Structure 1
Amino acid sequence: MANEMSAHELTQCAALINASISNVFKGLEALGAQVSSIWEQQRCKAKQPDQGDLKPLLAVVRRILDSESLKFHGAGVVFAPGELKDCEMHLQWWCRTQQEAIQPLKLNLNSRSDRFYDYLHMPWYTRPQQTRRPSIEGPFVDLYGTEQYIVAFSLPIFFDDRFIGVAAADISLHSLEPLLVRSLMRISNEALLLNAEGRVLAANTSSWLAGDLIRDTLNQDMEHSRVLSLIDTSSYWSVVERPAPRI
């Protein structure tokens, strides 16, 4: 009976985390749909989109940033090279200030500068492009952007089967972790949320901290642990219940 109860707890926990992740991607799907609508409108006019055509994106981004269930740090669209008429590379991105205002984020996209923000080689951009699937990357420190420890959610945008960029959102791990921990607290044993490299995103015990690498430890007691994969993305997240009481 205890074994069945434990399995039920793990399933409930995973369902709650999956619901939170799905809500993030629903917002990004709406943002991607708005981009596709703009590209379709400009095609009907036989024109290539430029920065001035992107104004409708702000309303969608504002809805994402105003979410009550999760506190987003920033959101927007990152475009593939050459997609806009008036610039080679471009991010249409907004973030929240410490005063809770929403303002555009300006980054250095000059490839000759030592502060060049080369997003073309960043996993949150390349993975959705290559796999055509949603991606969750991190936690990592976004040194050239927000300088916070963040988790990046991104979704590929295709138009006429051509990759035109990603719709993305950043959530600071500091604000995401409490929500994840509340879900993990449903499990009586020690439980962890891990990313693909075996790094801890959240835990229901003080034995592990966000950012800890648990892969070797997990391999040692894998026979007695339960592992449940989360929502299908190109970035593997899983909930792990270890064979130890929660302390």
Structure 2
Amino acid sequence: MSSNTRLANAGAAVLEVMTVADVDARVGDALEGVFEAVGRTAADTQAVLASAMRDGRRPVSADLAALRPGLHTCLTQYDLVSGIGFVATPGLLDDVPGWLEWWQTRADGAVHPLLLDLDHSAYYDYTHWDWFSLPRDTGQRAVAGPYVDYLCSDEYSLTLAAPVTVEGRFTGVAAADIYLRRFEAVVMPLLQRLPGPARLVNARGRVASSTDPRHQVGSLTKGPDFAAVLNGPADGAQHGGLHLRPCDGVPLILVTAAPPAGRP
């Protein structure tokens, strides 16, 4: 086989069309690693808070320092993760009104804490953000954004979050940030291998990635009940000429044109 033929075959392999099922499984695989880091953080936080409560006291911010070794490990083990930690629900801790035990990586790879003065009179109310309110209100993990993360990095980001509960009580969220540029480097090549325009949206209909020029990243897709789709059949649903398919195991939905009648 000539070198030109080998190159042509390699190019054909790169451009091979993928099915919707293939893409949603690959997207799910990519984000499942990040949710694994979030899950580890949630479990560590539950153990720390439960220990304080067994001692018959309310936890304090210093207790959460026990999370730091695990957070540092997650930042080095999971390539997509740029920041990770626990965000306490207001009133949980005895010494401060709110708290973010949050660590992130600098451009040089160094790990450092996010330092915020949440005890100031201009207290930052983070409870209205999707990354906090969605896990709190649904009891499920969530993908929030993309949005400009003025609180942590000033980067266009996604935040993956899960509720942390102790003895049935909501205590806050474990969460991890992904810079959008890193996320798109993973998912855009997959979307581009679908036969038509496609986009990924979260439970609110916010576009997380798109090859459809009519639906830009960060815009809202209106109409369908995306939260219901996430809780529905694995093969998704059709709405207004669109096929809405939950990504495998993660709270994102792949939106494509509905197949012609008679085709799967």
Select between 140-149 and 160-169 the one with higher mean Cα deviation: 140-149
1:21 aligns with 2:68: no
CA distance in 1, matches of 2:221, 2:171: 37
1:99 aligns with 2:108: yes
1:120 aligns with 2:127: yes
1:36 aligns with 2:36: no
CA distance in 2, matches of 1:120, 1:239: 28
1:185 aligns with 2:192: yes
% of aligned pairs identical? Answer: 26
CA distance in 2, matches of 1:120, 1:72: 22
TM-fit CA distance, 1:103? 0.4
TM-fit CA distance, 1:13? 0.2
Call closer, same or farther: CA 1:44–1:224 in 2, change over 3 Å.
closer
Task: For residues 178-217 of structure 1, give each alpha carbon's deviation from its aligned partner in whole angstroms, at most 9, with x where no partner exists.
Answer: 111122233232222233454432234777653355659x
TM-score, with normalisation over the residues of structure 1? Answer: 0.81
Call closer, same or farther: CA 1:67–1:186 in 2, change over 3 Å.
farther
Counterpart of 1:84, as a letter, is: L
CA distance in 2, matches of 1:44, 1:53: 13
1:132 aligns with 2:139: yes
Secondary structure of 1:66's aligned partner: helix
TM-score, with normalisation over the residues of structure 2? Answer: 0.76
CA distance in 1, matches of 2:136, 2:130: 9
| Structure 1 counterpart of 2:210 | 203
CA distance in 1, matches of 2:207, 2:64: 37
| Structure 2 counterpart of 1:76 | 85
Secondary structure of 2:152's aligned partner: coil
Q: How many pairs were matched up? A: 230
TM-fit CA distance, 1:162? 0.9
CA distance in 2, matches of 1:23, 1:140: 21
Call closer, same or farther: CA 1:80–1:208 in 2, change over 3 Å.
closer
CA distance in 2, matches of 1:163, 1:225: 36
Select between 59-68 and 29-38 the one with higher mean Cα deviation: 59-68
| Structure 1 counterpart of 2:166 | 159
Secondary structure of 2:90's aligned partner: coil
Gaps of 5+ in 2: 1-15, 224-237, 260-264
Gaps of 5+ in 1: none
